[in-house]
Chain A
């Protein structure tokens, strides 16, 4: 069974640019969660999508946004990139909260 896949694995962007990160959940999982893990910091909750709808978002500015497609894959968009957006962005999927999350390997974003 394929796990959660994220693309790209690494990318470098310039401050002020926009970036789109992609995530494909495990087959059968309808919920997708996005987390930011900056260097030396814990996982910070960004967004939760379920059945195509945004269910909750963390304490991040509106330039962080996303969507979930009918096949349950998801995109995370970050506009007007800032240096402090440099982090590992992790996507996770779940069939239900009680079963925990399965994480992808993440996208390492570097903003210069």
Chain B
């Protein structure tokens, strides 16, 4: 069964304290891995798409990397405005149809 597991469930950091979020997946034939940011009560906001092992994408303080079994979202010198839930999703072929399967998310809090 296609699965996406994110860890940790919650992470609290001090402003400027770098860290990484993990997304491990089991999917038959990865077509793409997506990272989203979600603020409370809002819809997810697209961050990155990764397609193949070794690929990296960067945006401001965020960098996403991909291996054959997991992806990492590295946060460098975070600021309080980076506080949000970060969602990972994989593109899977389920019952002959493509769709995104989401992980449970990591709730990130950056304290000033």
With beta carbons under 8 angstroms apart, the residue of B34, B41, B99 that contacts A100 is B34
Residues of B within 8 A of A106 (CB): 41-43
Q: How far is the CA of A41 from the CA of B97 in the complex (A)?
A: 23
Residues of A within 8 A of B97 (CB): 48, 55-56
- Chain B interface category by residue count: 20 to 34
Residues of B within 8 A of A12 (CB): none
Cβ contacts A to B, 12 pairs, < 8 Å: A42-B104, A45-B100, A45-B101, A56-B94, A88-B41, A90-B43, A92-B43, A99-B49, A100-B32, A103-B36, A104-B43, A106-B42
User: Which are the 10 A-B pairs with shortest beta-carbon distances?
Assistant: A103-B43, A56-B97, A43-B102, A42-B104, A97-B98, A103-B44, A105-B43, A100-B46, A42-B102, A106-B43
